[in-house]
Amino acid sequence: MKKEILLLGVLLISIFLLFGCIETETQETNEENFTSTLQTENQTQNQSTDQTENQSTDQTENQSTNQTQNQSTDPTEDQTQQTYECLDGTIVVDLNNCPNCPDSCDDNNKCTEDFCNLNTEYKCKHTFLIFCCGNEICEDGENCDSCAQDCGQCVQSSFNSYNNKEPYYSAYCDKIDPYNLDVRKAAAKAIKNDPGPYGIVQLLDIYDWVKDNIAYQNVILKGAPYTPAETLETESGDCKNQAVLIASMIGAIRGTAKVVLDPICEHAYTIVYFGPVDRDLSNFTQTVSDRYGYDAYINSFITENGTWVIFDPAGGRYPGDTLEECSGNRTVYYIHSCLSCVNQYPDRPFTYEGKCYSQCPSETIHTNNYSCFSCPSGYSSFENECLTCDDGYVLHTDGLCYQEEVKN
């Protein structure tokens, strides 16, 4: 009996142990299955999320691409656009857009050939012609007389000249007035940026001031000029009035100038004293070229008294320049101011041959209150008149002609 009970206990114990092991294995299996299930679910969720994101991204990109393609697609692109080739190879859709030359390439220079074409890239070109007066080349057969534009103005060294002679002297000499207050004020304005001793720059300043402030009037040379004060008042004048004014203004700053009358070309201008006959004008020429932008050629007179440079605001482009037709061999009249004596020596107001007199010398007369000039050959003066007598008669101190006494 005891043996049976013992066997039963062993059997129960074995069964208990068996079920405990099975439960443990089942629990471990369940835990493993649970873990595996979780992993599977996570993988499934991740795959689903990735697929969803990829699908969303693809859809977005596809939509963006489609929109971009739709936006860039123009219905007119389906149509073939006609194009044209210009002469220079440029492709255009409108022939009016092809490069073209200007309507005209004329540079108003008779000595240039003006052209424009494909080879010039449709830009105007100008080439100088040979053997043409005006091409800036002094060629064979050209000289200062025939083509001053290319060869330069002739130096006025071979000409007939008259100093302070009629028919111009008495009408001009008392108009050249460097002592007038208005003239002195104008000169001061002209050189205000270049104060100091008399010099070249001041001469250029006066030339510029007259050219800029006195309007030119084209009037014949005949007749007496205005006084410089009248020209300043009206702010206008012809060549003779401008010549008188500029000579007066240069005199006001202690320079030496005189008016030149040229009846051949019916013109008047001023000449300014620069020094002795061998005076080198190269520095002055360079100064003028730099200031006015021209390749300057300076016109000058060479006289026994020295070198005189032309200042012609009415006819020239710069100091030293004048009208082409007024150059070369010719006859001119020099006119000095006759107001120096009356201003410096009031008791000797009359000027004759550079000297001052209380009254005009014998055989001279005056046509104004300041200057004297000689009577013609064979005439004598009486009470400011030039008189002559017939052959066989002589003029006496009473102004009458008496027959000459016959000598035995």
**Judgement on whether residues 159 and 297 belong to the same structural domain of the protein:** yes
Judge whether 83 lies within some domain: no
**Judgement on whether residues 286 and 223 belong to the same structural domain of the protein:** yes
Bridge partners, 357 (sequence order): 350
**Judgement on whether residues 220 and 297 belong to the same structural domain of the protein:** yes
* Residue 27 CA: distances (Å) to CA of 14, 16, 20, 36, 96: 20, 16, 10, 14, 94
Q: Write out the H or E segment, with its range, that includes residue 45.
A: helix 2-72
**Judgement on whether residues 332 and 364 belong to the same structural domain of the protein:** no
C-alpha gyration radius of the chain: 55
User: What is the reported pLDDT for 3?
Assistant: 56
What range does the domain containing 295 cover? 152-337
User: What is the reported pLDDT for 82?
Assistant: 87
CATH number at residue 221: 3.10.620
**Judgement on whether residues 173 and 320 belong to the same structural domain of the protein:** yes
Judge whether 203 lies within some domain: yes
**Judgement on whether residues 198 and 240 belong to the same structural domain of the protein:** yes
Give residues with Cβ within 8 angstroms of 127, minimum separation 6.
112, 113
Name the domain count of the chain.
Answer: 2
- pLDDT tens-place string over residues 183-228: 999 999 999 999 888 999 999 999 999 999 999 988 877 888 999 9
Judge whether 328 lies within some domain: yes
Question: Residue 356 CB: number of other CB atoms within 10 A?
Answer: 18
* Global confidence as pTM: 0.59
User: What is the reported pLDDT for 44?
Assistant: 45
pLDDT by residue for the chain (408 residues), tens only, comes to 555 666 666 566 666 555 554 444 445 544 454 444 444 444 444 444 444 444 444 444 444 444 444 444 454 444 577 888 887 778 888 878 888 889 899 888 777 888 898 888 888 988 877 667 776 667 666 666 566 666 665 555 456 888 888 889 889 999 999 999 999 999 999 999 998 889 999 999 999 999 999 999 888 778 889 999 999 999 999 999 999 999 999 999 999 999 999 998 899 999 999 999 888 898 999 999 999 988 888 988 888 889 999 999 999 999 999 998 887 778 899 999 999 999 989 999 998 888 899 998 988 888 788 888 788 888 888 888 889 898 888 888 888 998 877 665
**Judgement on whether residues 386 and 359 belong to the same structural domain of the protein:** yes
User: What is the reported pLDDT for 107?
Assistant: 85
Judge whether 383 lies within some domain: yes
User: What is the reported pLDDT for 30?
Assistant: 47
User: What is the reported pLDDT for 334?
Assistant: 93
Judge whether 398 lies within some domain: yes
Judge whether 170 lies within some domain: yes
Q: Is 125 exposed, middle or buried (0-12, 13-18, 19+ CB in 10 A)?
A: middle
**Judgement on whether residues 212 and 354 belong to the same structural domain of the protein:** no
